[in-house]
Copies of this chain bind each other. A is one copy, B any other.
């Protein structure tokens, strides 16, 4: 739809009403909308392109690390889900059930996959016989259904898109190494591609994936200083192998249970980028995933229209050939000033303004979304110049996000200070005794949770809640 009035462009103040700001930018930038199917979303082309750009980079990275894609059915017999006790306890309340098919009631209800460990391990039991069959390093891109109570676009929707890796190994060490390879891959991806720093570490027992021995996660800070879990990698130990009787014959001819991992990132990453980089003007996308990296806004009157539009399209062709995702804004009914604001709100990293006088001078004007800087650039060699500016923007966005996170991350050494910080907003690095009681106390008092237990924060101290010994600080924050 065409944005056709000032009111359509108005977005709530990011500083005073973050939730409303989020809804506004998602809707007004045409990223996604709530579907008439309660809790599900329609991902619009601009939002989907963002996801596609992420998918491409991640898929390449998975393949480079030896993984192959495959595809398991979306519907899982209810009885499979019940085989792993923790797993069913965690997921059953969120499940959606298919009960009728082809005009008949089914003999057994089928669950629309909330995650695929059960059907996959049921299958691995048939695929794995010997140590020669290991490891299995498989991934699938799929849609997932979890009956969320309070859905929010991209962050928590009943249906969402994700990738789920499911690997099988002959030893504990190898499975643990895979778990860490992936969480590190996720960390690099979010840092280098989404331009956001993360804390990476173990989850506490309370926050662990249902059925895992250990869960590792990456946690990024959003602009409202809350945390978002951007990706998880689970060491499953032999839990699913035991639940589905998946064994292999080792080199000595003995049967052993297989070791497993699973890991995933989802369309939540789109929400992560929106809330990690947005500002009072709206969205701001890192060039590496921006659906449009450079928008050309032609400036013309009736008598210069053909000349300017012609030049704009020629330029666009050159930029495209240089690998830049470019769009010419040809909307005749809108004024340039409106378009400038519109593309700023939509988060396009670079805007090129091109009028007849620019063409006379063989130049254009380039405005940067992040810095707001605007300056003329010669048309000769423009593609190279823009490639360099996109790289600089990518770097600047990471640095800004890092500065923001550092300014809002504090070491706290008393429970009062932790409570005050959680109230104010930000990440609190505090000592914790590793006890669920203290963890629950913090959660009940502040709604904040332990986001992760990073190895980098090791170093003894005393739990801020109970004063008992602590092996290191953990990251406390309110979270999405």
Residues of chain A whose beta carbon lies under 8 Å from any beta carbon of chain B: 1-2, 35-37, 40-45, 48-49, 52, 68-77, 93-103, 109-110, 112, 119, 122-123, 127, 129-130, 132-133, 138, 142-143, 145, 147, 149, 158-159, 161, 333
Contacts and interface: CB of A to CB of B under 8 A. Distances in A.
Nearest to A2: B132
B102 A93 contact: yes
Pairs of residues from A and B, 5 with the lowest C-beta to C-beta distance, nearest first: A102-B147, A40-B73, A45-B68, A96-B101, A43-B71
Contact of A129 (B1, B70, B102): B1
A98 B101 contact: no
Given A100-B96, A103-B93, A112-B98, A45 B73 contact: no
A149 B416 CA distance: 65
Given A49-B69, A52-B69, A73-B42, A98 B95 contact: no
A58 to B, nearest CB: 14
A74 B75 CA distance: 12
A133 B70 contact: no
Contact of A73 (B41, B103, B138): B41
B101 A147 contact: yes
Q: Looking at chain A's contact residues, is the secondary structure mostly helix, strand, loop, or mixed?
A: mixed
A97 B110 CA distance: 10
Nearest to A291: B68
Contacts of A93: 102-103
A45 B101 CA distance: 28
Contacts of A36: 77, 119, 122-123
Contact of A42 (B75, B123, B149, B333): B123
12 contacts: A1-B127, A35-B73, A36-B77, A37-B73, A37-B76, A37-B77, A40-B73, A42-B71, A42-B72, A45-B68, A71-B161, A102-B147
Nearest to A144: B74
Given A42-B70, A42-B72, A71-B48, A132 B99 contact: no
